[in-house]
Each structure stands twice: as structure tokens, then as C-alpha cells.
Amino acid sequence: MRCSDGRVRWGVYGAAGVLFVLREADGHLVMLQKRSMMAHEGGTWSCAGGALDEGETAYEGALREASEEVGDVPVDHRVLGEYVFTPAHDWQYTTVVVEVEERFGDSMNFETDAVEWVHVTAVDSRPLHAGFAAAWPHLKGLIVQ
């Protein structure tokens, strides 16, 4: 849709993604998804996510998109928080931060080239999707408290 700021974004009802977190002995890991060249900003790393369906909450949409892109989400998980990016008054992207107890994930469709668990200190060294890069300092603050 063309948003009130003039930019075109995916998702008439907004969009949402999920950043999965795993606590290990050497620190926190996050699941990153390498976006395929067929996706927006292909070749960059981000979290799984996409457009919300009508009536869907950000949490519901984020988990649905994640299951489509990186596989079944573990049943035992807990929400640590969320960050909402609102670049226009008629559109927003919500990233839900979810802690899991085990590694999971694989490329499930054409949107994902790779899935990796990355230490939080190494995230900035990757070529990040612009939106995820802007949200990362806020998301990191929810993870490392």
C-alpha cells in the first residue's frame, strides 16, 4: 500500500515479525533469517515476518509468518516484549521478541535463503535489512536487560 508518508509498504493492515531469543551459557542468541533475492532487500538479514491479515494481532501474525518462513514455532515460548515502528500514521511494523528453550528453524519457502542463530554481539556485523537495523538497538534492549 502507499502510506501517508508516500512510501510503498507491504501489508494493508501493517506487518509484524518475530525475533526469537535463546539463552545459552555464553550469552543470548537470536534467530536471523537471510532474505532471498526474491524478497524486499534480498541478501540482508532480519527476523521472520510479513504482512498482517485482517483482524490479526501483531503476535498472531508474527508467529504465523515465522511458521511459514522458518518452521514450526516451539509451543513452550514466552514473550519478552515488542517494538513498534510507525513511519506513517496509517502503517506500522511490530517486532515481537519471543524467548524459546531450544534451537529450531530452517528455510521453509522462497523468501528465506538461510536461518542462523547469532550471538547478540555479532548481529551488527551482518548486512542487515534497513528496517531491522533501525529496530535492532530497541530489540537488543528488550533482550539484554
pLDDT value at residue 5: 86
Residue 47 CA, chain-centre distance (Å), reads 3
Q: Which of 136, 102, 104 lies closest to 120 in space, CA to CA?
A: 136
Q: What is the mean pLDDT of each run of 10 residues along the chain (145 residues)?
A: 85 94 96 86 90 96 96 95 92 96 92 94 96 95 89
Q: Which of 77, 82, 48, 85 lies closest to 65 in space, CA to CA?
A: 48
pLDDT value at residue 80: 97
pLDDT value at residue 8: 78
Measured from the Cβ of residue 93, the count of other Cβ atoms closer than 10 Å reads: 25
pLDDT value at residue 143: 95
- Contact residues for 121 (Cβ-Cβ < 8 A; gap 6+): 27
Domains for the chain: give ranges and CATH numbers.
15-143 (3.90.79.10)
